[in-house]
Each structure stands twice: as C-alpha cells, then as structure tokens.
C-alpha cells in the first residue's frame, strides 16, 4: 500500500473567544513522521483532532491523499489514532482490542485473528494477547493501542502525546520502537508532543507551534540550530543570551571571539546586539585572568552543566562532556564560543 | 486500638437488636430451640405477603432501573457543571433517601380521592374514583416506590456513566464504529456490572422499605414489614412475636444475598476500570 | 467556509426530561396546591401555621430536633476519629471497617424495630426506666447505627481527599497532641464532609418513622402520620415543607466549602 500525503489547508478553530488554530497550513509528505511540538494550549492537539475527524474546523479544509475529507465523519476516515492514555477498551483483552477495528470493517473471524496476531507480534506483545488492560503496564497498554491502530492498515497514523503518561525509561524505549515501526511500514504519521527531545529524536520534520500558529517547520537540525523565532529558540533546547558587538563584513564579536553573524541584517556596525548561544557551543577554561567565575556545577551523567557568572553580572549555562579536571565552583574561568556562527535575536536591550 | 470504640458501639447497638431478632426467632417463650416460627412463615398469610413484597421489589427495581438509567444518561450528557446536574443531584438525594412519609402525603394530595391530579383527570374525562383505584393500595404504593426508585438509580448509576472515558468513544469511532456500535461493544459491557448492581440495590431498597407504605395504608398492608409490625406490637398471643422475628430473619437473609451479589459485582466493575 | 454548529436537542433526551419533570414535579405541585386549601374550605396558609397551634405536633418536632442533634454529635464523635485512625494507622483494616459500616443496611428498619421491641420487653425495670422511657435516650443510639453507612461514606470521602499523612506528620512535628490534631488540623479541612454527614443524619432522623412508630414514641414523623388521619391538609403542608427544607439543606451543602478539597468528591455523593 502506498503512502498518502496530508494537507491541512488554512485550518481555523475557535472555542468561544479563544482561537485554538489560526489558519494553520501544514503538509505532511507521504511516509513522513511529522512532529507537532509546542507547549500546552498551542493548538497541536486541536490540529490532530481535526485531522482525525474528532472535531470540525470553523474554516479550512483537511485533505488526505488528494481527497477532501473535511466533511467525512471520524469513523469513515481511514486513520489510526493512539491516545495519550486509557484508550484501550477495558472489557476486552489485548487481542480483542486489536481486532476491534477489523471487526468494524466486517472482516472474517479467522482473518481478524491472524492479522491481530501479526500486529501484536510487530509491537512485541504476542505473549500478552490474552491479557486485559488492567493487567498491562502503561508501556504495554500503549503498545497494544499502537497495534490496534495499525491493524486496520490506516493511511495515516495519528499519535496524541502517546508517551507523556509513561515514565522516562519506558518512554525512551517505546519512542524508538514507534519510530522503527513507522519507518518499516512507511506510514504517514502526525506525532503530537510537548517534549522537544522526543520530537527532535524521532521526527523527519518538526513543526513548532505557538498560540495556534506554526512558528517554524523544518528538520530537527534546522529547528535546533537555526530557530526562526525567539519562541522557537527558547522552547527547543536551552539558549543563552549574550551581548555581542557588530563588526564589519557580517561578523560579530562575542565573548572575545569573532563569529559569523546570522540574522544581523540591518544592524549598525559598532552597535550592540543580543545573541543566542547554545550551552554546548560554549567552553569554560580555568584562567586567572578570565572574566567569569563558576557559580554552580551540576553532574547530569554524560553531560556536566556549569553556570558561570560573568564579571558584568550576566549568567551563562555551559554544557560539556563529563570528564575530570573541570573547573570547580568558585574558580575563575575564561569563556569562549566554540561554534563558528552566532544567531542574532535583536538589538541589545539597554 | 483506635477502632475499639467503633467496634464496641456497633457490637452493642447493632449486635444487640440483631441478637434479639435471631434468638427470638429460633426459641420459644420458654427458651427452648424451635422451628415453629419459621415453619409458620411458610404458610398463609405470610407467604402471600412475602410474594407481594418480592413482586413489588422486582417490578419497581426493573422500572426504576430502566427509567433511572435513561434519566441519568440525559443528565450526564448535559455536562458536569450544568445546573440540571446540580438540581437533579440534590433532588434525587432527597427523594431517594428521605422521601418516606412526605412522599405518601404528596401522592395522596395528588391522586387521592380529593387529590389535585384526580380532579384534573376528572376534568378531562378520566375518573379515577369510579373504578377500584385508590392511592391507599398496593398500586398506590407501587407508584410511590417508583417515585423514589428512579432517583436512587440515577444517583447510583451516574458515577458509572461518568467513568466511561471519552477516549473509549473516540477510539471506537476512529476504528470505524458508529455510536451504536460503541454502546454495543464497549459501553454496555463495561456498564453491565454497575447496572446490575444498581438494580440489585434497588431491589433490596424496595424490599426493605416500609415508611411510605405505612403512611399510605398502615400496618394492615399485605407486605412483610406490615405483618412484622402487626405481630410485634400489641398482639395478644406472645407466640406470634416469634413469627414476626422469623419473618425479620428472612428479610435479613434476602437483603444479605442482595448485598453479597452487589459487592461481587462492584469488585468486577472496579477491577476493569482501574 | 464558515460553519456554525448548534447542538440539536436530541429526542431521547427531551423525552425523558419531560417525562421526569411531569412525573416528579406533578405530585409536588399538586401537594403544594392542596396544602393551601384549609380545613374550613378557604385558601390560605392555615395548614402551615397549624404547626404552631398544635401542641402535639410542635412538641414532637422539638423532640425530633433534639434527637437529631444528639445523634449527629454522637455520630461525629464516633465516626470521625475512627475514619481518621483507619486511614492513618490501619489502611489494611479499611475494607473491614467499611464493610462493618455498611452492615446496618442489611437490617431493614422494621426488623431493627422488632429487635428493639423484643429487647425492650426483656429489659429489666431499671434499665427500662433509665433508657427506654424517653425517646431521646432510647432512639438516639440506634439512629446513629442507621446513619452510619451514609455518614461513614461522606467522612471517608472527605478524609481521603486531603493529604492526611502529610498534615498529621507536619502537625505532630510541630508538637500537636491528638486532640489538637483532630480539632484544629483535620476538622477544618473536612468541613464539607462533616456538613454532608451531619445533614444526612439530621434528615434521616427527621424522616425516621418505622422504628419510632413501632416502639410507640412520639417523634415528628409519627405525629405527622397521626395528623394525616384527620387533618390531611396539614399533613400535606408539612410534607411539602419537610421535602423542601431537606432539599434546600442538601443543595446548600453542595455549595459550601469552596476552598475545601473534599468538595469536589462530595459532589459525587449527591
């Protein structure tokens, strides 16, 4: 079965005075996993629900595989949906849960059973087919939910924060499995999450949403390295705000280094601008004549995060790979930028 | 231990009367064990009264169950904070648990010989008083019982209805089911234990009830509680006291069976809905 | 493309709501109208004011109110510490205690009355004169038992809704004794639960007729039935009143205690 494309055409949805979606325009390529990322209330779940048919837009169209399905009810759209939690039917065991969609499509009993066995095996739960939801762990329940959604061979897979209710270890494991299954089946997928690490790790493309609008749409690297708006910069990963001076030839002076400026158009030479730098793009080296002091050092496993205070009062976060000999709290250090370019967010606020 | 006062209190004030009932049912006035009291309860008029009580309980619990469920669905779909919900909630609480005597008089005022509704019906040509209908009868009691059984059902079943997660409906829809399909395959099976349990409670409630019947008809009513009261209070033959107590034990047995059934169903209901 | 969605009133909902309105409000409206027809044939509030003229009715009401108050106090004093203790110290006994608290439901009131009547007839003259003469002492202890299932449930829901363990540990850490703990720390936080339990108890006592009638005590409901033999209008008026007051009581309880954690859960009880 070949994958389909999804096109959300200027979708608008209002709830009373609140505009949940403001003319959202989004394309999902066939076989692609697109993650919609954003804080609560940004409209990502609303968009998903509109695509699934669980809600009707106030304006705009939903196109799947070239067809306009805006007016098609949810039970006639060919989609598989995985909810955040609690979506398994409690009165049926895993096997019958998975068969449900097939039953609705009037598939014969033997065929249903074979197909259900197949997908349960795909998600690694063949042994638990006879278990009821209350007998399954959170992670297992979500796997069954995924199997149930895939059993009907949908043209689009919808995932509404499927990992948010699980604990960290299970989350990471299941995340990779979902991605593996999705790629193997080549199914067009829309994945909604508020966890940026999740979005960055599994998506082909990430759409960052805020207040009902798409702030940026791009590959994980693009969204992370070249955030298009301050919101995206802050939401995806951590950002330091540093002062930089505009030099000639499209370069900036930041913390003593000369860097290529990005987004510095229109800034006056010699003027001060605010620059965004990732913690992993900084380095702190012990130096008696340095211009900063280590305020705090936090061990995070493979990473160590240091908070240093510059002499002019500003605080910076620096992430380095954990090793011995890192500067202690209280030590005087010199801070340098290790990347080649710097993202300008705007003129310096006095 | 902190639960000692509680345990002692219950043993004394619940155990006391209970002991008297059981003891009195199985002993003669001289204190020797006897089967007499119980054997009498298997004869008329007591058997007849038992049948009437069971019939009344069965009918009112089934009717209360059906209409109560219907009404509860209508209330729940209005939303958790709607005024309808609040009014029905507190109103149902009053009618279900405290209606007793006031309810009887409300019905007398409505459908009694000179009741307002009787007059209304006479105006449109239906004369209730012409036939053998009187509110002070088992039929009247039946109507009154339905009046508090429906609210009780509403109160009992609303939590179960609210326990139906919206995700189930949406998941079912997403997988191709119509609303009817969802009800048939998911909602009904999930609700079944709670529904049956609620109807069981309704049955027990009607079987044990007496206040309304007493206010409408008096202790001469052909129901088990009526006979118990007659046998206990102010009767010449002391022997009959024992029969009343035997009937009491039988009532307890019926209710106990109902409660055990209810508890078992509750366990099943909550296990699925963890 | 603009689409305005309106929920069309669904037939199945409208039908039952209309049926329910007619069936449930009908008798109440009839009773209300009936209550305004005085014994002299004219319309007025005579049936209602009868409460103040009739000494039997009035004194029985006072008696019932006294019993209600005493029952409530004993019920709270017995049940609240028990509920707290069970939730705090003996969580595994919770199921057992809960089952015991539900036990009174298995005994129909008429059977309880039969047992009490027998108890009375077997009691010695001294006990009789002390306990069984006045309804206040005779009925109250057993009314507490009757109220137990509802009261326990209300209090339990309320106590479970607050973070009991943390509150108690914090208070004890700061030096509170058990009485202070109960009165100053726990009680204020379960106000709604207590009010609900108390309201249910009062309503129960004021409606209880089977036991008091069988034992020949003159409580308000008993007197109400007696009045109904002769003065039906008065009985109907007082019935309307008592239903209205009970409803008002329960309705208000569902609003009280806005800051109470237990309020959200109590809503489920009603």
> Which of C31, C102, C145 is nearest residue B13 as measured by Cβ atoms?
C145
What does the pLDDT look like over C107-136, one tens digit per residue?
999 999 999 988 888 877 777 778 888 888
Average pLDDT over residues A256-263: 80
SS3 of chain A: the string is CCCCCEEEEEEEEEECCEEEEEEEEEEECCCCEEEEECCCCCCHHHHHHHHHCCCCCCEEEEEECCEECCCCCHHHCCEEEECCCCCCCCCCCHHHHHHHHHHHCCCCHHHHHHHHHHHHHHCCCHHHCCCCHHHCCHHHHHHHHHHHHHHCCCCEEEEECCCCCCCHHHHHHHHHHHHHHHHHHCCEEEEEECCHHHHHHHCCEEEEEECCEEEEEECHHHHHHCCCCHHHHHHCCCCEEEEEEEECCCEEEECCEEEEEECCCCCCCCCEEEEEECHHHEEEEECCCCCEEEEEEEECCCEEEEEEEECCCCEEEEEEECCCCCCCCCCEEEEEECCCEEEEEEECCC
In a domain, C48, yes or no: no
Average pLDDT over residues A191-209: 94
CB contact under 8 A, C30 and B115: yes
What number of C-beta contacts closer than 8 Å exist between A and B?
75
> Which of B168, B170, B272 is nearest residue A134 as measured by Cβ atoms?
B272
Tell me which chain A residues have a C-beta less than 8 angstroms from the C-beta of B176.
Answer: 75-76, 101, 104-105, 152
| B91 in contact with chain C, both atoms CB, cutoff 8 A | yes
- pLDDT: which is higher, A271 or C254: A271
- pLDDT: which is higher, A345 or B248: B248
Residue B92: Cβ within 10 Å count: 26
Per-residue confidence (pLDDT) for residue C65, from 0 to 100: 93
What does the pLDDT look like over B29-69, one tens digit per residue?
777 888 888 888 888 889 999 999 999 999 999 999 999 99
B225-254 residues touching C, CB cutoff 8 A? 225, 228-229, 232-233, 241, 244-245, 248-249, 251-252
Dist CA B274 CA C14 (whole Å):
33
**Residue A324 has which token pair?**
């011995």
pLDDT category at B256 given cuts 50, 70, 90 is very high
What does the pLDDT look like over C182-224, one tens digit per residue?
778 888 878 888 888 998 899 899 989 999 998 889 999 999 9
Dist CA A202 CA A190 (whole Å):
11
Question: Under CATH, which number does the domain B51-223+257-272 receive?
Answer: 1.10.3720.10
Chain length of chain A = 350
Q: Is the pLDDT of residue C269 over 70?
A: no
| A105 in contact with chain C, both atoms CB, cutoff 8 A | no
C219, C207, C218, C213: which is closest to B234 by C-alpha?
C213
Per-residue confidence (pLDDT) for residue B86, from 0 to 100: 81
What does the pLDDT look like over A150-163, one tens digit per residue?
999 999 999 999 99
Count of domains observed in chain C:
1
Q: Is C33 left (phi over 0), alpha (psi -120 to 50) or beta?
A: alpha
Per-residue confidence (pLDDT) for residue C3, from 0 to 100: 41
Tell me which chain C residues have a C-beta less than 8 angstroms from the C-beta of A59.
Answer: 1-2
| CATH, residue C173 | 1.10.3720.10
Complete edge-to-edge strand list for the sheet that includes strand A282-286: A282-286, A332-337, A292-299, A303-310, A315-321
Contact C136, C67 (CB under 8 A): yes
In a domain, C18, yes or no: no
- pLDDT: which is higher, C70 or A253: C70
Contact A94, A117 (CB under 8 A): no
Dist CA A32 CA B188 (whole Å):
39
Per-residue confidence (pLDDT) for residue A117, from 0 to 100: 95
Domain that holds residue C129: 54-262
Average pLDDT over residues B138-147: 90
Average pLDDT over residues A124-132: 93
Cα-only R_g, chain C: 23
Q: Which residue has the tokens 């697109």?
A: A34
Task: Give per-residue burial for C151-170: e unless 16+ CB within 10 Å, then b.
Answer: bbbbbbbbbbbbebeeebee
Tell me which chain A residues have a C-beta less than 8 angstroms from the C-beta of B195.
Answer: none
In a domain, C37, yes or no: no
The CA distance from B11 to the nearest CA of chain C, in Å, is 10
Highest mean pLDDT among A211-220, B96-105, C39-48: A211-220
What does the pLDDT look like over C16-30, one tens digit per residue?
999 999 899 888 888
Query: How many degrees, rounded to 5, is the angle at CA A310 between CA A304 and CA A314?
Result: 95
What number of C-beta contacts closer than 8 Å exist between B and C?
254
CB contact under 8 A, A56 and C2: no
Contacts of B14 (CB under 8 A, 6+ apart): C103, C104, C107, C145
Bridge-based pairing state of the strands A292-299 and A332-337: antiparallel
Average pLDDT over residues C46-75: 88
What is the average pLDDT value for chain A, to the nearest integer?
90
Q: Is the pLDDT of residue C58 over 90?
A: no
Cα diameter, chain A: 79
A229, A203, A204: which is closest to A216 by C-alpha?
A229
Query: How many degrees, rounded to 5, is the angle at CA C97 between CA C95 and CA C100?
Result: 110
Share of chain A above pLDDT 70, in %: 98
Dist CA B199 CA A301 (whole Å):
59
Dihedral over Cα of B196, B201, B204, B209: its sign:
negative
Average pLDDT over residues A296-318: 90
Tell me which chain A residues have a C-beta less than 8 angstroms from the C-beta of B185.
Answer: 89, 100, 103
| A204 in contact with chain C, both atoms CB, cutoff 8 A | no
- What's the start-to-end Cα distance of chain B, in Å? 32
CB contact under 8 A, C3 and A60: no
In a domain, C155, yes or no: yes
What residues form DSSP beta bridges with A189?
A: A33, A157
Q: Of the ranges A37-51, A68-82, C230-244, which one carries the lowest mean pLDDT score?
A: C230-244
Dist CA A190 CA A206 (whole Å):
10
B77, B170, C5, B179: which is closest to A71 by C-alpha?
C5
**Residue A58 has which token pair?**
């106030």
Query: How many degrees, rounded to 5, is the angle at CA C231 between CA C227 and CA C237?
Result: 85
Cα diameter, chain C: 89
B209, B203, B212: which is closest to B256 by C-alpha?
B203
What does the pLDDT look like over B207-252, one tens digit per residue?
999 999 999 888 888 999 999 998 887 655 556 788 889 999 999 9
B138, B113, B259, B272: which is closest to B198 by C-alpha?
B259
Contact C152, C80 (CB under 8 A): no
In a domain, C46, yes or no: no
Tell me which chain C residues have a C-beta less than 8 angstroms from the C-beta of B210.
Answer: 108-110, 210
Bridge-based pairing state of the strands A6-15 and A18-28: antiparallel
Per-residue confidence (pLDDT) for residue C267, from 0 to 100: 44
Number of alpha carbons in the 13 Å side-chain half-sphere of residue B40? 19
Tell me which chain A residues have a C-beta less than 8 angstroms from the C-beta of C1.
Answer: 59-61
Contacts of C84 (CB under 8 A, 6+ apart): C159, C164, C182, C186
φ, ψ for residue C16 (rounded to 5)? -70, -35
Per-residue confidence (pLDDT) for residue C265, from 0 to 100: 46
B203-222 residues touching C, CB cutoff 8 A? 204, 207-211, 214-215
What is the value of ipTM here, to two decimals?
0.86
In a domain, C143, yes or no: yes
Q: Which residue has the tokens 């209002």?
A: A14
Q: Is the pLDDT of residue C257 over 70?
A: no
Contact C67, C135 (CB under 8 A): yes
pLDDT category at B185 given cuts 50, 70, 90 is very high
Cα-only R_g, chain A: 24
- pLDDT: which is higher, A28 or C190: A28
What is the average pLDDT value for chain C, to the nearest integer?
83
Query: How many degrees, rounded to 5, is the angle at CA C242 between CA C238 and CA C245?
Result: 135
SS3 of chain C: the string is CCCCCCCCCCHHHHHHHHHHHHHHHHHHHHHHHHHCECCCCCECCHHHHHHHHCHHHHHHHHHHHHHHHHHHHHHHHHHHHHHHHHHHCCHHHHHHHHHHHHHHHHCCHHHHHHHHHHHHHHCCHHHHHHHHCCHHHHHHHHHHHHHHHHHHHHHHHHHHHCCHHHHHHHHHHCCCCHHHHHHHHHHHHCHHHHHHHHHHHHHHHHHCCHHHHHCCCCCHHHHHHHHHHHCHHHHHHHHHHHHHHHHHHHHHHCCCCCCCCHHHHHHHHC
The CA distance from B187 to the nearest CA of chain A, in Å, is 9
In a domain, C181, yes or no: yes
Dist CA A218 CA A208 (whole Å):
9
Dihedral over Cα of B92, B96, B97, B103: its sign:
positive
A225, A231, A229, A161: which is closest to A198 by C-alpha?
A161
Q: Is the pLDDT of residue C5 over 70?
A: no
In a domain, C13, yes or no: no
Q: Which residue has the tokens 């008002």?
A: C248
Tell me which chain A residues have a C-beta less than 8 angstroms from the C-beta of B177.
Answer: 75, 100, 104
């Amino acid at each position: 079965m070949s994958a389909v494309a999804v096109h959300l055409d200027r979708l608008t949805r209002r709830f009373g005075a609140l505009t949940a979606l403001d003319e959202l325009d989004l394309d999902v390529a066939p076989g692609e996993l697109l993650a919609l990322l954003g804080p609560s209330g940004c409209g990502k779940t609303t968009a998903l629900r509109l695509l699934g048919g669980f809600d009707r837009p106030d304006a705009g169209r939903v196109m799947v595989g070239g067809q306009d399905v805006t007016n098609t009810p949810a039970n006639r759209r060919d989609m598989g949906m995985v909810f955040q939690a609690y979506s398994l039917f409690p009165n049926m065991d895993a096997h019958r849960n998975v068969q449900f969609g097939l039953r609705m499509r009037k598939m014969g009993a033997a065929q249903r059973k074979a197909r259900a066995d197949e997908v349960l095996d795909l998600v690694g739960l063949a042994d638990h087919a006879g278990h009821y939801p209350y007998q399954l762990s959170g992670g297992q329940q979500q796997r069954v939910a995924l199997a149930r959604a895939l059993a009907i061979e949908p043209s689009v897979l919808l995932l509404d924060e499927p990992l948010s209710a699980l604990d960290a270890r299970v989350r990471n494991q299941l995340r990779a499995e979902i991605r593996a299954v999705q790629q193997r089946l080549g199914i067009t997928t829309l994945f909604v999450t508020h966890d940026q690490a999740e979005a960055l790790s599994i998506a082909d493309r990430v759409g960052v949403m805020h207040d009902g609008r798409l702030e940026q749409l791009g590959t994980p690297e693009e969204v992370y390295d070249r955030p298009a708006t301050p919101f995206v910069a802050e939401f995806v990963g951590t950002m330091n705000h540093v002062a930089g001076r505009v030099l000639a030839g499209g370069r900036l002076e930041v913390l003593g280094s000369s860097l290529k400026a990005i987004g510095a158009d229109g800034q006056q030479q010699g003027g001060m601008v605010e620059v965004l730098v990732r913690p992993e793009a900084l380095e702190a080296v012990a130096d008696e004549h340095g211009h900063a002091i280590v305020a705090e050092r936090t061990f995070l496993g493979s990473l160590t995060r240091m908070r240093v205070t510059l002499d002019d009062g500003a605080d910076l976060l620096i992430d380095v790979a954990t090793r011995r000999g890192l500067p202690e709290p209280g030590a005087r250090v010199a801070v340098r930028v290790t990347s080649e370019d710097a993202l300008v967010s705007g003129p310096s606020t006095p | 231990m902190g639960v000692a006062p509680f345990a002692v209190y219950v043993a004394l004030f619940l155990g006391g009367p209970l002991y008297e009932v059981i003891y009195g049912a199985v002993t003669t006035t001289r204190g020797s064990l006897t089967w007499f009291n119980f054997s009498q309860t298997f004869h008329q008029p007591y058997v007849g009264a038992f049948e009437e009580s069971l019939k009344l309980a069965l009918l009112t619990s089934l009717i209360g169950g059906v209409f109560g469920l219907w009404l509860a669905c209508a209330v729940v779909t209005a939303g958790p904070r709607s005024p309808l919900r609040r009014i029905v909630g507190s109103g149902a609480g009053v009618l279900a648990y405290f209606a007793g005597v006031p309810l009887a008089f409300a019905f007398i005022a409505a459908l009694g010989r000179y009741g307002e509704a009787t007059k209304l019906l006479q105006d449109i040509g239906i004369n209730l008083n012409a036939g053998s209908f009187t509110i002070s009868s088992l039929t009247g009691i039946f109507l009154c019982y339905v009046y508090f059984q429906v609210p009780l059902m509403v109160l009992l079943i609303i939590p179960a209805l609210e326990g139906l997660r919206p995700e189930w409906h949406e998941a079912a829809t997403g997988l191709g089911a119509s609303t009817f399909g969802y009800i048939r395959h998911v909602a009904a099976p999930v609700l079944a234990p709670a529904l049956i349990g609620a109807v069981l409670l309704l049955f027990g409630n009607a079987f044990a009830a007496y206040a309304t019947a007493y206010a409408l008809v008096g202790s001469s009513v052909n129901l088990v509680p009526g006979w118990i009261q007659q046998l206990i209070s102010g009767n010449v033959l002391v022997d009959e006291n024992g029969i009343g107590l035997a009937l009491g034990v039988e009532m307890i047995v019926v209710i106990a069976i109902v409660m055990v059934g209810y508890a078992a169903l509750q366990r099943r209901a909550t296990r699925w809905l963890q | 493309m603009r689409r305005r969605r309106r929920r069309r009133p669904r037939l199945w909902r409208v039908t039952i709501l209309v049926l329910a309105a007619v069936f449930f409000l009908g008798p109440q409206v009839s009773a209300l109208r009936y209550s305004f027809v005085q014994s002299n044939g004219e319309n007025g509030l005579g049936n209602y004011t009868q409460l103040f003229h009739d000494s039997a009715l009035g004194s029985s009401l006072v008696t019932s109110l006294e019993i209600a108050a005493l029952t409530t106090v004993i019920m709270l004093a017995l049940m609240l510490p028990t509920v707290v203790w069970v939730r705090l110290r003996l969580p595994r006994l919770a199921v057992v205690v809960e089952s015991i608290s539900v036990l009174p439901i298995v005994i129909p009131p008429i059977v309880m009355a039969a047992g009490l009547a027998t108890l009375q007839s077997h009691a010695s003259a001294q006990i009789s004169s002390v306990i069984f003469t006045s309804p206040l002492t005779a009925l109250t202890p057993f009314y507490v038992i009757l109220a137990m299932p509802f009261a326990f449930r209300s209090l339990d829901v309320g106590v479970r809704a607050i973070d009991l363990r943390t509150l108690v540990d914090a208070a004890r850490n700061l030096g509170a004794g058990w009485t202070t703990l109960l009165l100053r720390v726990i009680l204020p936080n379960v106000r709604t639960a207590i009010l609900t339990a108390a309201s249910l108890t009062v309503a129960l006592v004021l409606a209880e007729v089977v036991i008091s009638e069988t034992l020949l005590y003159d409580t308000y409901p008993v007197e109400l039935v007696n009045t109904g033999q002769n003065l039906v209008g008065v009985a109907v008026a007082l019935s309307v009143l008592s239903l209205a007051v009970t409803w008002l009581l329960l309705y208000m309880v569902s609003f009280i205690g806005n800051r109470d954690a237990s309020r959200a859960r109590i809503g489920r009880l009603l």
